[in-house]
Amino acid sequence: MDLLELERAPVRRHPWEEARVAFFLRVLRGAGLLGPGVAVLDVGAGDGFFSRRLTEALAEGSSVTCWDTNYTDAHLASEAFAPSAGLRFTRAAPEGAFGLALLLDVLEHVEDDAAFLAEVVEARLAPGGHALVSVPAWPALFSSHDVKLRHHRRYAPRAARAVLARAGLEVVRGGGLFHALAAPRAAQVALERLSRSAPPPKDLGEWDAPAAVTAAVRGALALDASLSLLLSRLGLDLPGLSYWALCRKP
């Protein structure tokens, strides 16, 4: 969860966030990247929800460093951000090279995304290491929700791949994600542009649907994620609300 969303609401995990974690763990597991001794850097880690799940899935001797320049002294002093076995949080740029870098919904927050990614790849990713990147897709879907979350942009897949290539990364697998959510978001954006009073989507931490609705949404998103994995194996790119890529540094 973005730190802005964490500060605005009590935390009840959105089914989207749960599905996102499960999907990317499947991607990493399928690529054989959860073996022993791997050092992971989670760039722009937010509240560390993904990294905590990742730490549970990693083999013995692995570690995860959550790096976010927006961590405050209060964040780092709180119990929620306390270090644990194989997991630590830092505001300062970490030293050393990592075998796996995560940049999950991070680049859209950075004004000069290409330079930032290039610096991460050059200075913090080991040769032969992997980077897992996701970004919000399609500039036409940019809305007040993006503005509220301080996004500079959304990405067409071709533009995202160009940023990855300029940073020296080779895309191993990738494609759209959350295909079923693209049309509802397009409708919401259209309504927003037609009516200034249209409410923006709720933050992740504001999810308050009944248990039955939550279960139904969770199941639908799980099916959607399975479709994304299948399409990526076939080399097909179906548009989705997000774009993702598993990359390798030569």
pLDDT digits (tens, 9 = 90+) for 196-246: 666 666 555 565 667 777 788 888 998 999 999 999 989 888 999 999 999
Residue 4 — pLDDT band, cuts 50, 70, 90?
low
Using a pLDDT cut of 70, give the percent of the chain over it: 90
pLDDT average, residue stretch 48-56: 95
* CA–CA dist 249, 243 (Å, integer): 19
Q: How wide is the angle at C-alpha 120 spanned by C-alphas 145 and 26, nearest 5°?
A: 65
Could you state, in order of their start, the residue ranges of all structural domains in the chain? 3-248
* CA–CA dist 241, 250 (Å, integer): 29
* CA–CA dist 8, 11 (Å, integer): 9
Half-sphere exposure of 169 (CA within 13 A, CB side): 31
Structure confidence at residue 206 (pLDDT): 62
At the fourth CATH level, the homologous superfamily of domain 3-248 is: Vaccinia Virus protein VP39 (3.40.50.150)
- H runs (alpha helix) in 149-210: 157-166, 182-194
Structure confidence at residue 129 (pLDDT): 98
Q: Which strand (E) or helix (H) includes residue 49?
A: helix 49-57
Greater confidence, 17 or 213?
A: 17
* CA–CA dist 83, 81 (Å, integer): 6
How is residue 227 written in tokens? 């479709």
Coil, helix or strand for 154? coil
CB 23 within 8 A of CB 228: yes
